[in-house]
Structure 1
Amino acid sequence: MPANPHPAPSYDHTYDVVVVGSGAAGLSTAMAAADSGLSVVVLESTDKWGGNTAMSGGGMWLPNNPLMKRDDVGDSREEALAYLEATVGEPGAASNRARKEAFVDGVEDFVLTAEKYGVELVRAPDYADYYPEKSGGKIGRAVEVKPFDVKRIGSWWETCQAPVALPVKTDDVWLLGRAWSTPAGFRRGAELVFRAAGGVLRGKKLAGIGAAFAASFVDVVVQKQKTPLWLNAPLEDLIMDEGHVVGVRVTRDGEPLTIEARRGVMLAGGGFDQNKQMRRELQGIEGNPSGAPGNLGRPIEIAYKAGAALELMDDAWWGASIAPVDGHGAAFIVGERSFPYSIIVDGKGERFANESESYVDLGHHMLEHDKDGPYWFIADTRHARRYLRTYAMDPRLNKKMTEAGIMVKADSLAELAGKIGVDPTRLDATVDRFNGFAKAGVDGDYGRGNSAYDRYYGDPLVRPNPCLGPLEKGPFTAFKVVIGDLGTKGGVVTDADARVLREDGSVIEGLYAAGNNSAAVMGRTYPGPGSTIGPAAVFGFRGARHMAASR
């Protein structure tokens, strides 16, 4: 018989499934694969696991989920799909109807399986979809992991990408922002204090939001399912046999290794938000990312070399951020933009968008209006006194921002305009016009406060519009704002089961992708809170289930 032209390599390790990445997509894939009886290894390229997920708000947008059904909150498959069509449309193959249906239909498996292993999921009942007035829009589709005792994962917590352990929940955030200006905010602040104190008294170290997701899933994957998680193990290449992916080449702690993947390889290693060269070439901007430092896009490049189709490489999960300073990354701002007594202006001193709109929309508007900026977030003294500003809580950082010209104060708007380099006449006219809208309760230019999403972060004690308050009382403060992001949206094109596709639509057998390694099912928009992590987790599950059913 003739010699085999593709002899099998000698593998150092063999698993059914190799997962590249340790964020939501990777950990969800590992959980579902092990639940299906498959052997799994999770590879993390850096010395910290959890990726963007551990650093995030931890919410998952999961329409028609089992928690809603238990709470008798009305939702349906039909409404969820109608909403996705109304908001996302079909900008490319990644957002086709089959993928949308797969996402909605995969929610239940993800939720019920996670709960089976002890993950405590809770709803954020007050959080609106980002376009709740559109067909199928709802309030309360967001799901998160309940604050989790990170002591349960022992020394693994020391290598988590999460910056700190605080028992914060998603619905805390909007109320804590006004903790000393509204009774509801004060109550929620007190609840958080008691929650934290109660955890300490019970000998627990509670972490919420993204840290809770990451830690609780590592508890299941690593400790309960006994799946190995390798740190400092970047993917170097795929091993192919006649067009099929059969394994990977990695470097673990500097040692080159080969791993056989009998059922498949899941690429879940994050986007390319930290790769400035790729961003300049593909997006025309280096970006101001808020994600994990290991997001360099290597898995996407490797998949492309293997023949994968790419989409949305010019896009990201955009938003507005306070400019970085002295080693501190850009501070992504969300709720602060909706609080009254504030506006965002361009370098001419003019408004250009609804400051309270979803962060992706605001980011796109900033890109379209002036990619290079500058932009300024301007507020009067009531904004500083009444509301929690996450980006201005550290006096040492405030000093550095002041020295760098990122934080500027002045007693009058005219003086402020001079300090930030905008035309004082134009800024005065902009504020005058905005103040008129604030007193009338209707933003006649950009509709700020019209949507339930805008009002979610507003101040209900400010009337007639909780998002509008006139800028009248000095001193005034301006923060330099840049175009930021929560990660890149572009990646390999996948089908309904997370299988990687070529340009002609054919499947690269044995190769899967989810999370920001894959082109977003959400297209160029952001339908609701957790539209990154929700699909990442669901498509991680779908990929694992498909691997389990194959062969």
Structure 2
Amino acid sequence: MKNKNDVSIGRRTLLTGTTVLGATAMLGVANQPVQAGVEEPSWEGEFDVICVGSGAAALTAAVTATSGGAQVLVLEKAPVTGGTTAKSGGVFWIPNHYGLKAQGINDRREDCIRYMCRYAFSSLYDADAEHYGLHVLDFDKIAAFYDHGSDMVDFIRKSGALHVRQWRMWDRNVEAPDYLEHVAENKVPMGRPLASATASGDYAHGYGLVEQMENWLTDHRVPVLTEHAVTALITRDDAIIGVQVDEGGKLKLYRARRGVIFGSGGFAHNVEMLDANQVVPVYGSCAQQSATGDLVSIAGGVGAKIGNLNGGWRTQVVLEQALKNRAIATGMFVPPGDSMILVNRYGKRVVNEHRNYNDRTQIHLAYDPVNAEYPNQLLMMIYDRRTAELVGADNGLPPVNAQAEHVISADTLSDLAIKIQQRLAKYHQKTGHYTLDHEFSETLLRTVERFNQFSRSGKDEDFQRGDHAYDREWHLVWGNFQYNDEHKENPYPNVTLHPLSDKGPYHAIILAPGVLDTNGGPITNAKAQILDRHDKPIAGLYGAGNCISSPTRNAYVGAGGTIGPAMTYGYIAGTEVLNEPVR
């Protein structure tokens, strides 16, 4: 994405000849309100709406507000635009969209909302209760996602801000199953994901989504300023009237006559916040390094209610890659291969290895109250030569070939256990002295024997791997298998299960919990308004995307399950802010 500091602001939007330092000195500390009778701050510029961030949420809000006649400013603290969206596939999960309707598929409101409630709040869900057992605020936010998601897509297409197409599984060109497609509540288990596209209909990916929206804003004379970090909110009579910005150490104030919309990302790279709120360490993240959770303290300073700080959009990461640089290029979204298992420090399988990255990674958070430990804090990916040589090198995952430096290899499973322990010992100070149990080797042998029996029968009796469409379809995508005369297509009844070889070499990769980004922060209502500690909207303050407490909590409902709600709530915020009075 581009550095946009060269975008000029028109004369009518600037109060020239003023000094920001004078205004800041008058205001004193961050988030201090402007008192009645006090001289008006010296604004660097005045706008109707200020959008903070430049990913899918903020840009959708900016396009929406601009289309509604508002004068908009976009502020991004990073040197380039796009945020974590720019690193994504540009896929967004939307219920009841135009493509489903064209296919004659009725994605009924009640059914879809029930599915999302079931997934997002499984501990509260009651199919027969009012609001399905959810608190009314949580139910209303999920309902708002359904009610406005398809409207957002229709708007964004009609406005010309983004080309959209129905998403298929890339080269396989088949519909992707939702991430919980097999439950009874999901009546439309395929077809909801959409994707950003080029004018010719090819996939545009995340960077293309950002570029199209950014170009649309530039064409409509909306300034998009990078290296402008919002550090505080300016209030008058308990309403937000502007922001304080740090531009390379120089403080500036920008006026927002109607409101401020944050789409500034989570706190995946704020280690202090992660350690204070997450159950186990978050070792690495695919998020942009600018994801440091600025909104939590900024909104907290004006009395915002905060929630879900222990949440996140999760993925496993390769431990040794993350310890070198926590800003990883990619996670181990689905461990690839059929002759492959994941085991904990006791040598036991603990999860369906082919479940989606968000749900599967939560097994790292499991606590053993008897031994007062997290036995799955790290997991070992164990596999044989078949998987090492079959998995395609360009599948978008960390490499599993024997030459990769994070791959541990040995001729026997017993020797592999010894080498895993030796590798763990190198990092004991960074892993809470995580070590293998003294019976790991013997248990691993029994685990592999049991898995091989399941592979021959085609039925994983422990974790049902391969029983559901999700496991089977995504297994082929993430494997990107390169079959040959020695390693042929899986001949066993279950395509996701193949016995590990009776002889080596065998390989291992140490996997750790990571996140795509966090999804906690200020709590909003169904209008994307940020609420105070009494559940009342803070006038002129809105949020969308990973910087807020997620409307779908921690449920990754399907491919694009983060960007879909982010864009929808950006659209809601951009619509609702137009109803704010000029302050």
User: Which TM class, normalised by the smaller chain length?
Assistant: 0.7 to 0.9
Match for 2:114: what amino acid?
A
Query: Structure 1: how far apart are the matches of 2:259 and 2:407?
Result: 50
Give distance in 2, aligned partners of 1:93 and 1:308.
19
Aligned to 1:274: 269
Quote the offset at 1:442 in angstroms. Answer: 1.1
> Which SS does the other structure have where 2:443 is aligned?
helix
Are 2:495 and 1:445 aligned?
A: no
Confirm or deny: 8 A CA contact 2:391 2:400 kept in the other structure.
Answer: no
Q: Give the structure 2 partner of residue 23 of structure 1.
A: 55
Paired residue for 1:57, among 76, 80, 89? 89
- 1:56 Cα shift? 1.5
> Displacement of 1:393 after TM fit?
4.8
Match of 2:450 in 1: 433
3-state SS of 1:96 partner: helix
1:140 to 191, 196, 199: 191
- CA contact under 8 A between 2:540 and 2:580: conserved in structure 1? no
Structure 1 unmatched runs, 5+: 150-166, 170-207
Distance 1:383 1:535 in 2: 36
* 1:406-445 residue CA offsets vs partner (Å, 9 max, x unmatched): 3111222222122112522111111111111111111111
Q: Secondary structure at the match of 1:377?
A: strand
State the partner residue of 2:8: none
CA contact 1:315–1:488 (8 Å) conserved in 2? yes
**1:216 aligned partner:** 212
> Could you tell me how far apart the structure 1 residues matched to 2:531 and 2:135 are?
10
Deviation, structure 1 residue 394:
10
Residue number in structure 2 paired with 1:183: none
Distance of 2:258 and 2:289 partners within structure 1 = 30
Match for residue 306 of structure 2?
A: 310
1:178 is aligned to none
The separation in 1 between residues aligned to 2:554 and 2:325, in whole angstroms, is 30
Q: Shift in Å at residue 148 of structure 1?
A: 6.9
Task: Pick the aligned partner of 2:347 from 346, 349, 354.
Answer: 349
Distance 1:394 1:147 in 2: 33
Corresponding position of 2:236? 241
1:121-160 aligned at under 5 Å gives the runs 121-125=164-168, 126-134=175-183, 135-137=185-187, 138-147=189-198
| Equivalent residue number for residue 292 of structure 1 | 288
TM-score, normalisation: structure 1: 0.83
Structure-2 residue corresponding to 1:195: none
Q: Which position in structure 1 is the counterpart of 2:571? A: 541
- Cα distance 1:95–1:416, how it changes in 2: closer, same or farther (>3 A)? farther
Q: Find out whether 1:262 has 2:257 as its counterpart.
A: yes
Q: Distance in 2 between matches of 1:129 and 1:392?
A: 24
Counterpart residue number, 2:382: 378
Offset at residue 124 of structure 1 (A): 2.0
Which SS does the other structure have where 1:354 is aligned? coil
Q: Distance in 1 between matches of 2:549 and 2:304?
A: 11
Aligned partner of residue 101 in structure 1, secondary structure = helix
CA contact under 8 A between 2:289 and 2:327: conserved in structure 1? no
Tell me the equivalent position of 1:176: none
**Superposed counterparts of 1:510-525, under 5 Å:** 510-525=540-555
Check whether the contact 2:283–2:317 (CA below 8 A) recurs between aligned residues: no
- Alpha-carbon distance between aligned partners in 1 of 2:241 and 2:564, rounded to the nearest angstrom: 28
Decide whether the 8 Å contact of 1:380 with 1:471 is kept in 2: yes
Q: Is 1:492 the equivalent of 2:530?
A: no
Rounded to whole Å, the distance in 2 between the matches of 1:236 and 1:444 is 53
Which letter does structure 1 place at the counterpart of 2:497? L
Partner of 1:332, secondary structure, is coil
2:26 matched to which residue of 1? Answer: none
User: For 2:463 and 2:359, how far apart are their aligned partners in 1?
Assistant: 12
Shift of 1:71: 3.0
How far does the alpha carbon of each residue in 1:123-147 deviate from its partner, in whole angstroms, 9 at most, with x for none?
1241111111221241111111125
TM-superposed CA distance for 1:244, in Å, is: 0.5
The amino acid across from 1:342 in the alignment is: M
Q: What TM-score do the two structures reach when normalised by structure 2?
A: 0.79
Bigger Rg over Cα:
2
Offset, 1:535: 0.5
CA positional deviation for 1:109: 2.2
Describe the SS at the equivalent of 1:246. Answer: strand
Structure 2 CA distance for partners of 1:61 and 1:371, relative to 1, 3 Å: farther
Q: Distance in 1 between matches of 2:254 and 2:355?
A: 46
Q: Which residue of 2 aligns with 1:107?
A: 149
Which amino acid is the alignment partner of residue 165 of structure 2?
Answer: V
What amino acid is aligned across from residue 499 of structure 2 in structure 1?
Answer: P
Does the 8 A contact of 2:263 with 2:543 survive in 1? yes
Whole-Å separation in 1 of the counterparts to 2:264 and 2:470: 31
Higher helix share: 1
CA distance in 1, matches of 2:110, 2:75: 37
1:97 is matched with 139
**Structure 2 alignment gaps of length 5 or more:** 1-34, 125-133, 169-174, 368-373, 422-435, 478-488
Q: What's the Cα RMSD here?
A: 2.4
Deviation at 1:387, TM superposition (A): 2.2
User: Per-residue displacement from partner, 1:195-229 (whole Å, max 9, x unpaired)?
Assistant: xxxxxxxxxxxxx422222222212222x322111
Aligned length: 486
Task: State percent identity of aligned pairs.
Answer: 29
> Structure 1 residues 408, 455: CA separation in 2 closer, same or farther (over 3 Å shift)?
same
Q: Distance in 1 between matches of 2:114 and 2:41?
A: 49
Give yes or no for contact 1:148–1:212 (8 Å, CA) kept in 2: no
Measured at CA, do residues 57 and 233 of structure 1 come closer, stay the same or move farther in structure 2, by a change above 3 Å?
same
Check 1:380–1:524 CA distance in 2 against 1; reply closer, same or farther (3 A cut). same
AA aligned to 2:359 is D
Residues 137-181 of structure 1, C-alpha deviations (whole Å, 9 max, x = no match): 4111111112579xxxxxxxxxxxxxxxxx985xxxxxxxxxxxx
CA deviations over 1:230-262 (Å, ceiling 9, x no partner): 110001100001110111010223321111101
Which residue matches 1:190? none
Q: Displacement of 1:545 after TM fit?
A: 0.4
More moved, 131-140 vs 491-500: 131-140
Cα gap change, 1:4 to 1:420, in 2 (>3 Å): closer
Contact 1:24 1:53 in 2 (8 A): yes
Q: Deviations over 1:488-543 (max 9, x none)?
A: 01111001110000121111000001101110111132111111111000000001
Please state whether the residue corresponding to 1:264 is helix, strand or coil.
Answer: strand
Find the partner of 2:532 among 492, 495, 502. 502
Question: Any conservation in 2 of the 1:94–1:523 contact (CA below 8 Å)?
Answer: no
2: CA distance, partners of 1:84 / 1:447: 23
Q: Contact conserved, 1:168 with 1:209, CA < 8 A, in 2? A: no
Cα distance in 2, alignment partners of residues 378 and 352 from structure 1: 13
